[in-house]
Amino acid sequence: MSRQQTYVIVGAGLAGAKAAEALRGRGFDGRIVLVGEEPARPYERPPLSKGYLTGEADTASLFTHAETFYPEQTIDLRVSTTVTAIDPADHTVTLGSGELVHYDKALLTTGSAPRRLGGPGADLPGVHHLRTVADADALKAAAAQAHAAVVIGAGWIGSEVTASLRQGGLPVTLIEPAAVPLERVLGTEVGAIYRDLHAGHGVDLRMGDGVASLHGDGHVAQVRTTSGARIDADLVVVGIGAQPRIGLAAEAGLKTGDGVSTDEFLRTSHPDVYAAGDIAAAWHPLYGTHVRVEHWANAADQGAAAGAIMLGADEPYTRIPYFFSDQYDLSMEYRGYCPDWDQVVLRGRPADGAFLAFWLRDGAIRAALNANDWDAGEHLHRLVQARARIAADQLADPGVALDDLDPGSATRKSAA
């Protein structure tokens, strides 16, 4: 590979860092320019709402690579640097300073931004969003001084932040328009488990309600809900989802929609521009549609895959989506892609602290979750990968071994 070639990665998060690592690991000896807006080198975001917020993880544990990695690998890491334009026709990236960087191939890993709360009082001091380590530091400092918190939104960020704040002893009210936390992703059956989990830890749950306005004289002091309730709080955390940062791609004329559209090789509508991580709406051969995933594993795996593909690897990205969550003493892993389903099957008793869940559509397993059960993960992966068709009563019966259901297990293979 010629040393004169330059690959530019726009976005210095996990996906960008893993792409740069893969390029060097696969022998690319050209120039790599990794550009990020934040002042810190690439780091991992999941701990920000969990261990980092509770104080169990320190700053040093967040970083994707040691500080010496980038100079040792001759990766030109530009932190605190914005990209203002991408020109696919001229193969240039324009930096905020006005510098033009020519590229042979470019990778977009610009990630997501938290959705902002609108309405009266949304910009009051004391209202926090969580995306960056700076956001997490500000939230930690505020929580240490706060008397009561309101978390708006019971998705993953909202639910995890709620758990972390409660573990720190802060009274928390959780407001969510849906009937249960995480209903859109997990459905009412599993969402109810998380509802009961939070209630058991003293969270004041306001399900089926929304936020009308925030109030305070120079600092947030009260949240008023759409039902008319008034909740005193000097700390408000907004966790109402994220949106992909596709502005640069759209302005460059690349095909966008819910993310930056790519084929199964992570190529955008321009052959020398690729996308990975939160922004990539990548064609997935298994699902027959474009899939966009905002989770740690996808950023890590897709970033590495993009680096390999940019060097000519004939390896379509076909990994099954995976994510995890830790809330209080309940840790879970979810595998699959199932935006809609016909049936949810539970195995085990959630009240006992461990259970499995399966999401079925048209009789096939499309997604599965293991909670506090670390022996089941590989079985669930293979069941989802195979879209296995197994009777619901067998899935629900702990007396039927997963080995006997898993089409790829050694036990089942030997029996066949």
The per-residue pLDDT for 406 is 83
Asked whether the predicted pLDDT for residue 3 surpasses 70, the reply is no
The per-residue pLDDT for 409 is 65
Asked whether the predicted pLDDT for residue 408 surpasses 80, the reply is no
Instruction: Assign 276 a pLDDT band (cuts: 50, 70, 90).
Output: very high
Could you confirm whether domain 116-240 is CATH 3.50.50.60?
yes
Asked whether the predicted pLDDT for residue 214 surpasses 90, the reply is yes
Instruction: Assign 412 a pLDDT band (cuts: 50, 70, 90).
Output: low
Average pLDDT value for residue range 16-22: 98
Which tens digits make up the pLDDT trace of 332-364?
A: 999 999 999 999 999 999 988 899 999 999 999
Which stretch of DSSP H or E encloses residue 185?
helix 183-200
Q: Do domains 116-240 and 329-415 have the same CATH topology?
A: no
- Which residue from 211, 209, 216 is spatially nearest to 119, judged by alpha carbons? 211
In the chain, what percentage of residues exceed pLDDT 70?
97
401 by DSSP, 3-state: which?
A: coil
Average pLDDT value for residue range 235-243: 97
CATH level 3 topology of 6-113+243-310: FAD/NAD(P)-binding domain (3.50.50)
Question: For the chain, what are the domain ranges?
Answer: 6-113+243-310, 116-240, 329-415
Q: CB pairs under 8 A, 24+ apart, for 192-199? A: 193/350, 193/355, 193/371, 194/154, 194/159, 194/327, 194/330, 196/350, 197/327, 197/328, 197/330, 198/159, 198/162, 198/163, 198/166, 198/174, 198/327
Could you confirm whether domain 329-415 is CATH 3.30.390.30?
yes
Average pLDDT value for residue range 156-161: 98
> By the 8 A CB rule, do 152 and 205 touch?
no
Residue that has been written with the tokens 């000519």 in this structure: 312
> By the 8 A CB rule, do 306 and 273 touch?
no
Instruction: Assign 274 a pLDDT band (cuts: 50, 70, 90).
Output: very high
Q: Which residues pair with 107 in a beta bridge?
A: 9, 274
